[in-house]
Amino acid sequence: MKIVCIGGGPAGLYFALLMKRQDPRHEITVVERNKPYDTFGWGVVFSDQTLGHLQAADPQTAGEILGAFNHWDDIEVNIRGERIRSGGHGFCGIGRKRLLNILQRRCEELGVRLVFETEAQGDEQFPDADLIIASDGLNSRIRSRYASTFQPDIDLRHCRFVWLGTHKRFDAFTFAFEETEHGWFQAHAYQFDGDTSTFIVEAPEDVWRKAGLDTMDKDEAIAFCERLFAGTLDGHRLMSNAAHLRGSAQWIRFPRVVCRTWVHHNGRAPVVLMGDAAHTAHFSIGSGTKLALEDAIELARCIGRSAGDLTRALADYQAVRSVEVLKIQNAARNSTEWFENVARYVNLPAPQFAYSLLTRSQRISHENLRLRDPAYVAQYEDWIARACGIQPREGLPVPPMFTPFRLRGLTLPNRVVVSPMAQYSCVEGVPADYHLVHLGARALGGAGLVFAEMTCPSADARITPGCPGLWNEEQLAGWKRIVDFVHARSGARIALQLGHAGPKGSTRVPWEGEDLPLPTGNWPLLSASPQQYVDGVSDWSRAMSRAEMERVRDDFVRSTCHAARAGFDWLELHCAHGYLLSSFISPLTNQRTDEWGGSLENRLRFPLEVFRAMRAAWPAHLPMSVRISAHDWVEGGITPDDAVQIARAFQAAGCDLIDCSSGQVSKRQRPVYGRMYQTPFADRIRNEVGIATMAVGAITDADQVNSIIAAGRADLCAIARPHLANPAWTLTEAAKLGYRDVAWPRQYLSGKSQLERSLEREKSAAVQAAGLSPLEQANQAQGV
């Protein structure tokens, strides 16, 4: 097969040598515009896992690369004079030029034809090629030429950064943060050979411009960076090797590249994107070169096992790599956004700031960190516990999820919340035996706070006839019975969520037809503006009049008073998911032209009126929260930027915590799902607004809860579906962690030790069966 690689970067060179090694009969040419053994850039970083992939693909090349690597285990974070270090991370640095030289020499040894100082204008220059690899980099001409096929999406990120070098030798991957009168700058530094380190300086665009770097020449900019990071550089100078760039041109914005497809048939041969031409991943997780090399490994593997069926091989390549790349890009997006918004986190205590940085991508978890550096995590858990007023016992660190949380006059024993989950099992709105068992079991299961499902302040506020209410004495008595049980029999606290279904009301229970109107007995629907939640299916709602707003507000206040009489510890107002109050907030559902429509300030007017009236009626020593949809996931709807403003408005009205959910406002929504996918909303609101938050959505295990709480991304974690499957989820997760200092109901204590022993046996058996170290297993589970 005749193969041409357009672009002599890591992707093109490595694919060429792997294919030549696979079958020496292949005629392979690599066309590169630069001179032989010439390149730009400083060092690149690989994880130990990537090195394992290289070793499996070609031991000889891997051996040469390994021999040239500078290896380190530690990450150090420097901020405000404090230096925090953790180990066990397993990174390697190598000069980009050294890496390319190794790959070039290896290609020559194997018989690959290298053509330098040749600018390939397009794939038509190679009419006899059987396969063309477009490894022509970030600004790929081939990708641009066939953009209608590849459908690239290029997102220029918000920070400016510059690649510099220094002869300061860093013995850890170092992140340094410095404040100026214009804002925060950060540096990413790592050693890649015997006497040189990469030193990347980065700042948000507005900070960069305010500092005047957009008008400085290269020497002035380098001098500025040397002064700013003098404490990190210890007197060493900074160097640039971008002689071809002038002034501010050396400061660039990172382009995130995503392509819908990676293969184009030009009528003669397939043209395949590889490396930066196909995708990019932010340098803060060091994955650009990793992705390029792993692209090459996978395509060579797919061709090798395809028995000559190139079409199938290319389809397999795209199917496998697109998924793996998406995982990396999602992690890189999280990491990018963390650094773009570092000013959001700098007021965290230094230990928590460092932990937040380490776990920013959501790929490195609490337990993964523990396996990397047990002493660091134990010390950090001790710090968190003491910050929460706990004096940990020697050798018995407290997992972050089991630290107490205080809001107003209420203290929760831990950070786990049973989400409000609709059960549709009431008659005339009265909670009875089912809810006593349902909520009572979950209170006994160890959660710190148990939420009753959305409860309605009037009969016409219900979603279905099976929804609970709190508008009369019978319902109050039913709730008081449940609250009294929780208080008498468990250490949990219990919360009530009040909400009005609005345009999503008067429907059947889900198992009889979700979102379908009742066959008979429907009640009129209210909303901010007339709407039909499910087009052609739902009943139409009508726009509320002012008199109806006052009536609904008073209904909420009446239910608030009943909730206080029933003894609830916590009250939440539901302003999310397209229900009545949400219909006012979202521009998708509020088309009013009066004082309750238009601007966000106006759209919030009625929900805030209801909240203030409830807050006035609710005991001052008890907390109140608000659930919001922090993202409508529809163009023109609520965005995370809006969510920050919404949170500020409720905070000013006396709200103590924002329960950060999203979506369910429109059937046109297109959420980006994934583990903990809504946690970034809680993170941003907590650390930008300065109000407590609750994270919810695809949080499934204790490791995730510990990571969220420890990083300061949220104060509480609401767990929904796992609590449906296991009422004792919290106690079970404690046993999985090996944390035994947790209170069980005394009636169940005989099961505690048995569960703990069984889980320990299962864990040991799994480790032995897999033949992996604990760290390897954790990395595999996290996709690291």
User: Which amino acids are annotated catalytic?
Assistant: 579
Q: Which residues lie closer than 8 Å to 25 by C-beta, 6 or more apart?
A: none
Burial of 87 (0-12, 13-18, 19+ CB in 10 A): middle
The partner residues of 209 in beta bridges, in order of sequence, read: none
Q: Where are the alpha helices (DSSP H) in 308-390?
A: 310-340, 350-358, 366-372, 374-387
| CA–CA distance, 728 with 450 (Å, rounded to integer) | 12
Give the position of tokens 């968190």.
384
Residues 557-562: contacts with CB under 8 Å, at least 24 apart: 557/613, 557/614, 557/617, 558/457, 558/471, 559/455, 559/457, 559/470, 559/471, 559/498, 560/498, 560/614, 560/617, 560/618, 561/617, 562/470, 562/471, 562/475, 562/476, 562/479
CB count in 10 Å sphere of residue 322: 16
- Would you say 631 and 673 are in contact if contact means Cβ atoms under 8 Å apart? no
Residues 6+ apart with CB under 8 A from 209: none
Rounded to an integer, what distance in angstroms lies between the CA atom of residue 196 and that of residue 95?
9
**Secondary structure of 223-274 in the HEC alphabet?**
HHHHHHCHHHHCCCCEECCCCCCCHHHHCEEEEEEEECCCEEECCCCEEEEC
Q: What tokens does 293 get?
A: 């090399």
Instruction: Give the CA diameter of the chain.
Output: 87
Handedness of CA 17, 19, 23, 28 (dihedral sign): negative
Neighbouring C-beta atoms of residue 598, cutoff 10 Å: 14
CB 704 within 8 A of CB 712: no
Residue with tokens 């710090």: 383
The alpha-helical segments, DSSP class H, found in 388-450 are: 433-444
SS3 state of residue 441 = helix
Q: Closest by alpha carbon to 456, among 424, 486, 493?
A: 424
DSSP for 649-681, please give it. Answer: HHHHTT--EEEEE---S-TT------TTTTHHH
CA–CA distance, 627 with 646 (Å, rounded to integer): 11
Distance CA 466, CA 452 (A): 14
DSSP 469: B
Classify strands 82-86 and 75-79 as parallel, antiparallel or unpaired.
antiparallel
Q: Is 645 helix (H, G, I), strand (E, B) or coil?
A: helix
What's the one-letter identity of residue 564? A
End-to-end CA distance of the chain: 35
φ, ψ of residue 742 to 5 degrees: the values are -130, 140
The span from the CA of 182 to the CA of 438, in Å, is 54
